[in-house]
A and B are shown apart, each in its own frame.
Chain A
Amino acid sequence: ETGVTQTPRHLVMGMTNKKSLKCEQHLGHNAMYWYKQSAKKPLELMFVYSLEERVENNSVPSRFSPECPNSSHLFLHLHTLQPEDSALYLCASSQVKGLHEQYFGPGTRLTVT
């Protein structure tokens, strides 16, 4: 247990669906991150939040919409996804933004049909 939980663990959705991924950290950290891990590709940083403010968006398509209502919760809202968006989506947190001791959740395995 890393202190970072993600739900759901698995998700199958059609291209016209809207769904949300949830992440919660119980570590008292101030920074949270969304990463994408596609098959046989390195981890890709998507979004960074620091003190509930989005501080980084790495050219992620608008069909991915993050939300950070407080420092413990992070959401990734999904709509009109493409099959190539199928991947493992990982949430992480760190004490402060940029600190590289990041604690990762178990991920949500997303399949877009």
Chain B
Amino acid sequence: DAKTTQPTSMDCAEGRAANLPCNHSTISGNEYVYWYRQIHSQGPQYIIHGLKNNETNEMASLIITEDRKSSTLILPHATLRDTAVYYCIVMTGFQKLVFGTGTRLLVSP
């Protein structure tokens, strides 16, 4: 699997956009970028994934750079319930889902 690098922690004010970066400089052409999050004491939650193009769903947007070496998960209007650990995972379609240490996002009033 390609390695990913994420900041250990980030803060965001409620109502503002949360932009969570992920570096994956060794990503190969057939590897996808997946994002999950884990709210305290709950199971991980799938957020979004993409290959080359930017993606948007009801939860978030995923911006992947043209060279695919980095990506940003955007929560457009963060709420207190978005406080969680966010995991950026890079893999091909049938590799194991491997969670790293992620970014701890704290959304404050």
Contacts and interface: CB of A to CB of B under 8 A. Distances in A.
Interface of A: 2, 4, 42-43, 45, 88, 90-92, 97-107, 109
A100 B46 CA distance: 9
A43 B37 CA distance: 12
Contact of B91 (A43, A91, A100, A101): A100
Given A4-B43, A92-B44, A103-B46, 16 more contacts: A2-B45, A43-B44, A43-B99, A97-B94, A98-B95, A100-B93, A102-B46, A104-B42, A104-B43, A104-B45, A106-B41, A106-B42, A107-B41, A107-B42, A107-B43, A109-B41
B101 interface: yes
A100 B43 contact: no
A90 B99 CA distance: 13
A99 B49 CA distance: 12
Nearest to A103: B46
| Interface bin, chain B | 20 to 34
Nearest to A45: B96
B44 A100 contact: no
A43 B97 CA distance: 9
Contact of A98 (B41, B93, B101): B93
A101 B49 CA distance: 9
A107 B43 CA distance: 6
Interface in B44-96: 44-46, 49, 89, 91, 93-96
Contacts of B32: 100
Contacts of B96: 45
Nearest to A48: B96
A101 B46 contact: yes
Contacts of A109: 41
B29 to A, nearest CB: 17
